[in-house]
Amino acid sequence: MTTMEQRFKSAILQLVDKELILPYEQKINTIVSRRAENDKFIPVRKDAKFNEVALEDLRKLLSKEYIENKNYKAYYFELTSIFKNYLSIRFDEKISEMTTNDFSHFLDESKIQNKNEILEFFKFADLIKFADISSNKDECKFYYKFCKEYIKTLKSKN
């Protein structure tokens, strides 16, 4: 693990209670397994409903009332975690483990739709999570809707 990765992990652990991340990781572990040869995510079975898992997690995110309590850091940590985990499974890549910069380089070579919008979302979320920039309800709702619609759009293309 590089120094930057260690600092990033340390920052996450300091800013986010582990309870935000663990439930989603547990669900993901029931849907995916690791392939030993190249350590990529692969579906355990073809009928795995990872789209529904991600959409349900988005619904649960709203019930936590982060926006109402103006806890924008926690909101964006969880929203990006849900979306990155979804993208990891959907595109069979370890996106959830990438920094925004790594993800940007990955996007240059990928066939993921809406590259610019996704990257803009992650960069904006990083500002909220790490640079003490504030957000507001409209921005939270905008990015929530973006993630939800993106998942729904790809779900319909299965």
State pLDDT tens for residues 77-103.
999 999 999 998 888 888 888 999 999
Quote the pLDDT of residue 80: 95
Percent of the chain with pLDDT over 90: 43
Of 28, 20, 68, 70, which Cα lies nearest the Cα of 48?
28
* Domain range summary for the chain, segments of one domain joined by +: 3-156
The pLDDT tens digits for 36-54 are 333 444 343 333 588 888 9
Distance CA 50, CA 85 (A): 10
Mean pLDDT of the chain: 77
Give the pTM. 0.68
Cβ neighbors of 89 (< 8 A, separation 6 or more) are 28, 31, 32, 41, 43, 50
Instruction: Over range 65-71, report the average pLDDT.
Output: 93
At 132, the pLDDT band (50, 70, 90 cuts) reads confident
Res. 131: pLDDT tops 80: yes
**Helix, strand or coil for residue 144?**
helix
Q: Which residue has the higher pLDDT, 26 or 69?
A: 69
> Which residues neighbour 128 within 8 Å (Cβ) at sequence distance 6 or greater?
72, 73, 76, 134, 135
Q: Which tokens belong to 88?
A: 């990891």
- Asked if residue 77 lies in contact with residue 12, where contact means CB atoms within 8 angstroms, the answer is yes
- Please give the structure tokens belonging to residue 152: 């729904």
Mean pLDDT of 96-119: 89
Q: Where do we find the tokens 């619609």?
A: 149
Confidence of residue 112 (pLDDT cuts 50, 70, 90): confident
Q: Is the backbone of residue 98 left (phi > 0), alpha (psi -120 to 50) or beta?
A: beta
Which H helix or E strand runs over 42?
strand 41-43
